[in-house]
Chain A
Amino acid sequence: MKFTKLTGAVALGTMLSATAAWAEYPERAINMVIPYGAGGATDISARTIAEPLGDAVGKPLIMANVTGAGGATGSVAVQNAKGDGYTMLFARVGSHSVNPAMKATLPYTLDDFRFVTVYEINPVACAVTPASGITSMDGLIAKVAEGGVSYSSSGVGSLPHLASAMVLKEFGVANPLTDATHIPQKGGGAAVTAVLNGTATFLCTNSSALSSFVANKQMVPLLVTTSEPVVGFDAPTANELGKDVLNKLVGWTGIAGPDDLPDDVADKWGEWMAAATQDAKFNETMSARGSVIRLMDPIEANAFIQDQYKAFRDLVDELGMRIEG
């Protein structure tokens, strides 16, 4: 009896304080989970936005790398968190569109998250070494027909993995999974090295990961997937080659909360991101790394991610790339 009363009182108290919290979210520091390792593309992007974003929020942002399993470990941590807006996730193309599309056994789906923004787009480029003798997409496709072509990636279920398969399919390779060999590596740096040392023939990945190799003439770009050309990449765009579908093949970074995130919290994030992305230093740092700053509000971000996810999922179904078990 006494216990019920006490529980009731506690519950009432919690509810009251919870309502009070909504009125002035955020009233304490916000935990920001980065699902990838320190120094990676997601980490640098997250830590770069954290500075202007922290000013906009007005409360400290506590950045924590929770790494493992291609971003799944960190994503699960946020999926299971309370939807009070105090635990948010830096979502990335790998963890929140390629992985859900490819892995049947992933412990989360896109519906477990509510995206509040996407703020960065990374064009994807395909490249080979000069030693390969390939100079164009046609040359690469001709080589695939001869056989013995392989491509590297930063791991199974990563963007480069899916990107290469998608590009090959769009360029008319009947069965990208068997006509070319996928040689997965551990991490993006290893994926580039594999192409440089001849382990693999080509690689499709974020242009920022390739830009220094292209500038140093260690690699030849064959294609960029955006409709606009990418600075420093002397290669045709997907649209110039008549493959507009490949425009969907871009990397991105965004912020998400658990699926029960309330509307007013999402709106707050929309406002904060609008302010933070105005920051000159942020823009300068990100463009120097080859990213395109493109801010999306919560609704646009959700639509963008769902759209990309569906395109990837259809491709995975068509090619039979789904990873079961």
Chain B
Amino acid sequence: MSFTDSLMAGLSLVATFEAFFALFAGICIGVVGGAIPGLSATMAVALTLPFTFSLQPITGILLLLGVYKGGIFGGSIPAILIKTPGTPASSATILDGHPMAERGEAGRALGMALWASCTADLVSNLALILFAGWLASFALSFGPPEFFALILFSLTIIAGVSGDSLLRGALSAIVGLLLATVGLDLVYGTNRFTFGDPNMMGGLNFIAVLIGLFAIPEVIAMAWNPTAHLGKARTLGQSKVTFADYRRSFKSIIRGSLIGVFLGSIPGIGAAPSAFLSYSEARRKSPNKENFGKGEIEGVAASEAGNNGVAGATLIPLLALGVPGDVITAIIIGAFMVHGLQPGPMMFLLNADIIYGLFIGLIVSSVFLFLVGSVAIRGFRFVADVPKRILMPAVLVLCIYGVFAVNNNIFDVGVMFAMGWVGYLMLRYQVPAAPFLIAFILGPLLEDNFRQSMLMSGSDPMILLRGPITWFFWALTSITIFAIVRNISRKAAI
């Protein structure tokens, strides 16, 4: 079958009312699901899965993809409005999105999040369609040593989100690394820091830590000093994003999309590190460097581009290799299998019509996301206008419900409150929370890949330098550390 034949076959498959309706409905479900803290994009996709069993394969898969993409964008809504990431992927969006909302620019931040998400989504989909084969083979050359080098480099992001004091940032990161070690040891399977409590065996729940660290300190601060915010007008969320904003952030959006595409095509990293990496790169390159973390719109653009850039790209390993890139695509693979489809190289030959149908659907999904997102923003941005004394109790209830719902475990709610106090103390002593979070996400990846590399080589550290990819990341790491050290010494000189 030639390219045009496949394209036409795909078009005839997907050009039905049901297929487009499923995609549209999926995006709506995703945006709402993602916007509810605790009901992450993963959960929304998992809950939608059983409904796809009775649908046509393409319709069902488009429904799930819609939920996925909508969910990743939807997560940015509570991140900006109430400092509670709806999905882990949108934690980077908090850094600048929430200060913007505090300044009364919730509408502008949300608008930028949407524009950046849609642009990144489009770039990501195009990358999938044009370079799937190439990126997939690139992804397969990522073994534990390559992962280790990449994660090590990613840890340098911490310097970028530490704010004024690198020491405070490092302290925050070390606490994050420490708490990430709770749970079962990967290689020996023994208990670490569980204190004999079965609830601790699974490690600290990521979403509980995330919400505890960001949302709860706000609630505590409010309860501590209920009138502190009066006078600081949190004006109406009427402000809108302008084309000039978009153009100014365009470079960061494209850079973020490409980072998303690369990290998304490598199985096992996920959207959160990509958002942080994109954010820190944007900060490094931006003329408004000083403004990052205080409500810089380019920061919102970069982190949203980083996480939505992953959404299309995770389908690269899924379709080209049959390997799920993250938890969500693992669920989507389930939908393929139920319909007797086996993702992988042969699918491009056997079911080319479905592949091309998916491609067409994906391109359309970026447009749908824009439409649904615009409506959602119009509805949600008035949350910013709700008086804080009403908003905060509501946020608390949402957080408790959300964290409980993740795992149906009351212990996680306790973790959230404990982390809330940690976060509150960090807030009081001006220790930034973002390095904690990055370390908490990347720490286990760093450790696991290091130990897997050591198992592979029989404890010979030279395996960490085994090929060009590792050399590349080691070089990047050295250059970045050199730059950080030089900056510090310059500051010290002044």
Q: Residue of A at shortest CB range from B142? A: A197
For the complex, what is the distance from the CA of A148 to the CA of B160, rounded to whole Å? 41
Query: With A190-B267, A193-B323, A288-B340 given, is the CB distance from A155 to B330 under 8 Å?
Result: no
Q: Does A226 contact B (CB under 8 A)?
A: no
For the complex, what is the distance from the CA of A71 to the CA of B49, rounded to whole Å? 22
Q: A39 contacts which of B54, B331, B346 (Cβ < 8 Å)?
A: B331
Contact: A156 with B189, CB < 8 Å?
Answer: yes
**0/1 string, A167-204, CB within 8 A of B gives 1:** 00000000000000111111101101110111100000
For the complex, what is the distance from the CA of A197 to the CA of B337, rounded to whole Å? 22
For the complex, what is the distance from the CA of A37 to the CA of B409, rounded to whole Å? 13
Q: A38 contacts which of B46, B144, B185, B344 (Cβ < 8 Å)?
A: B46
Q: For the complex, count residues of B whose C-beta is within 8 A of A.
A: 60
Q: Residue of B at shortest CB range from A34? A: B408
Query: With A156-B186, A186-B448, A325-B191 given, is the CB distance from A107 to B46 under 8 Å?
Result: no
Q: Which residues of A contact B168 (CB under 8 A)?
A: none
Q: Does B9 contact A (CB under 8 A)?
A: no
Query: With A211-B342, A212-B343 given, is the CB distance from A196 to B321 under 8 Å?
Result: yes
Contact: A69 with B184, CB < 8 Å?
Answer: yes
**0/1 string, A13-52, CB within 8 A of B gives 1:** 0000000000000000000010001111001100110010
Q: Which residues of B contact A103 (CB under 8 A)?
A: 189
Q: A70 contacts which of B47, B54, B143, B184 (Cβ < 8 Å)?
A: B184
For the complex, what is the distance from the CA of A183 to the CA of B383, rounded to whole Å? 49
Q: B455 contacts which of A44, A69, A181 (Cβ < 8 Å)?
A: A181
**0/1 string, B105-146, CB within 8 A of A gives 1:** 000000000000000000000000000000000001111100
Contact: A189 with B324, CB < 8 Å?
Answer: yes
Q: Does B198 contact A (CB under 8 A)?
A: yes
Contact: A73 with B42, CB < 8 Å?
Answer: no
For the complex, what is the distance from the CA of A43 to the CA of B45, rounded to whole Å? 13
For the complex, what is the distance from the CA of A194 to the CA of B42, rounded to whole Å? 23
Residue with the greatest number of chain B CB neighbours at <10 A, chosen from A189, A197, A289: A189
Q: Residue of B at shortest CB range from A68? A: B202
Name the distance in Å between B454's Cβ and chain A's nearest Cβ.
10
Q: Does B288 contact A (CB under 8 A)?
A: no
Q: Does B322 contact A (CB under 8 A)?
A: yes
Q: Which residues of A contact B181 (CB under 8 A)?
A: none
Q: Does B380 contact A (CB under 8 A)?
A: no
Q: List 11 A-B contacts (CB under 8 A).
A: A44-B334, A47-B49, A68-B199, A69-B201, A72-B198, A76-B198, A183-B455, A186-B448, A187-B330, A216-B344, A323-B190
Binding site for A on B (CB under 8 A): 42-43, 45-47, 49-50, 53-54, 140-144, 183-191, 198-199, 201-203, 205, 267-268, 321-324, 327-328, 330-331, 333-334, 336-340, 342-347, 407-409, 448, 452, 455-456, 458
Q: Please give 6 more A-B residue pairs, beta carbons under 8 A apart, in addition to A38-B331, A150-B456.
A: A155-B189, A183-B456, A189-B323, A193-B267, A218-B322, A288-B340
